[in-house]
Amino acid sequence: MPGAARSRIRATERDLRAALAGAAAAAAWAAAEPALQRIFGTPYSDVRLLGAPLSRRRWRLAGTAIHLANGAAAGVAFHRLGLRGWKAGVAAAQLESAALWPGMAMVDRLHPDRRSGAWPPLLLNPRVFGQEVAAHALFGAVLGALVREER
């Protein structure tokens, strides 16, 4: 096999490992979400944020699938940016959260759980913000721990 083809295969394998790491980190977040909801005293859920607009009955399945796919994409981006380690993972996840947080204004206007009153206003809610900081820290730490240096 020519060197260029072998190099592309190795790069694809590294991307796949990074995607799996990102999906695992997203799974850890989803598993921790009920505890975070109790700790921060809020019904807000990222899995529900993603799934409820797609399905009233199967929101958890839809939301989890999207959450894991987003985690996989974040894992590949983290790897391709050359980031490694739990500290870099936490920093990257917090930067992503801060960049996307203003989008909560749109969620406040459009999401079915906000419109029905099941969720409190999100954008200026310190409990929801704290929950997101904690969840992103967990995601980043797991992602950074799983994406290792190239050998």
Report pLDDT digits (tens) over 63-108: 999 999 999 999 999 999 999 999 999 999 999 999 999 999 999 9
Model pTM above 0.75: yes
In this prediction, residue 150 carries a pLDDT of 59
What is the Cα–Cα distance from 75 to 60, expressed in whole angstroms? 22
- DSSP for 7-23 reads HHHHHHHHHHHHHHHHH
Report pLDDT digits (tens) over 15-74: 999 999 999 999 999 999 999 999 999 999 999 999 999 998 999 999 999 999 999 999
- Predicted confidence band of residue 110 (pLDDT cuts 50, 70, 90): very high
Q: Which two tokens stand for residue 88?
A: 């870099």
Q: In whole angstroms, how far apart are CA 102 and each of 7, 11, 94, 98?
A: 40, 34, 14, 8
- Report CA Rg, the chain: 17
What is the Cα–Cα distance from 7 to 83, expressed in whole angstroms? 20
In the chain, how long is the greatest CA-to-CA distance? 60
For residue 127, what are the contacts with CB-CB under 8 A and spacing of at least 6? 40, 41, 42, 44
Report pLDDT digits (tens) over 120-151: 999 999 999 999 999 999 999 999 999 976 55
What is the Cα–Cα distance from 55 to 78, expressed in whole angstroms? 30
What is the Cα–Cα distance from 145 to 151, expressed in whole angstroms? 16
| Domain edges within the chain | 3-146
End-to-end CA distance of the chain: 20
In this prediction, residue 127 carries a pLDDT of 98
